[in-house]
Amino acid sequence: MANVNTDKYLESNKLYAGGQATHKATYPGKLPINPAKHVAVVACMDARLNVEDLLGLQTGDAHIIRNAGGVVTDDTIRCLVISHHLLDTNEIILIHHTRCGMLAFTDDLLKAGLEGDPAAERLLGQATGREFMSCKKAASTPSAFHAFRGSLEPLDAPCDAKQKERLEWDVRRSISAIMNHPWIPTTGPDAVTVRGFIYDVDTGKLAEVSYPGAMGSFG
Pairing of strands 39-44, 91-97: parallel
In which domain, by residue range, is 136 found? Answer: 101-157
- Banded pLDDT at 3 (limits 50, 70, 90): confident
User: Does residue 28 contact residue 60 with C-beta atoms inside 8 Å?
Assistant: yes
**Which has the closest alpha carbon to 155: 182, 179, 132, 139?**
132
Task: Name the percent of the chain lying above pLDDT 90.
Answer: 90
Residue 132 in domain: yes
Q: How many domains does the chain have?
A: 2
Residue 18 in domain: no
Same domain as 130, residue 109: yes
CATH code, domain carrying 209: 3.40.1050.10
- Banded pLDDT at 216 (limits 50, 70, 90): confident
Which letter does DSSP use for residue 136 in this model? Answer: -
How do residues 150-190 score in pLDDT, each as one tens digit?
988 999 999 999 999 999 999 999 999 999 999 999 999 99
Amino acid at 182: P
Q: What residues contact 46, with CB distance under 8 A and at least 6 apart?
A: 97, 100, 101, 201
Residue 137 in domain: yes
Secondary-structure percent of the chain, ordered helix, strand, coil, rounded to 5? 35, 15, 50
Angle CA 105–201–58, to nearest 5 = 115
